[in-house]
Amino acid sequence: MPKVFYTQPHGSERVIDAAAGDSVMSTAVTNGVTGIVGQCGGTLSCATCHVYLAEDDLKYFDPPTEDEDDLLDCTASDREDTSRLSCQLIL
């Protein structure tokens, strides 16, 4: 069972046991993680599930698609090199 580590902006961390095949976004929403809204339900159309991955964790996921890359330019917080949409991060 994968574990997802959610670090909040103020520094606290939540560790959640997740189901393989679920997204980082759906795991967050199901478990009430603040800051990940997932307004579109994971259909890659809103960017309200923007997260920053730890640099070492980038290797565990496929690179962003062109659609995800475009939406990352529309996030509420600044885009960084480790920015991803958590709905596209499948465990």
Q: Which residues neighbour 52 within 8 Å (Cβ) at sequence distance 6 or greater?
A: 80, 82, 83, 84
Contact 81, 52 (CB under 8 A): no
For the chain, list the domains and their CATH numbers: 3-88 (3.10.20.30)
Query: What's the pLDDT at 22?
Result: 97
**Tens of pLDDT along 47-87?**
999 999 999 999 999 999 999 999 999 999 999 999 999 99
Buried b (16+ CB within 10 A) or exposed e, 9-43: eeeeeeebebeeebbbbbbbbeeebeebebebebe
**Tens of pLDDT along 9-50?**
888 999 999 999 999 999 999 999 999 999 999 999 999 999
| Alpha carbon of residue 76 to chain centroid | 14
Query: What's the pLDDT at 14?
Result: 95
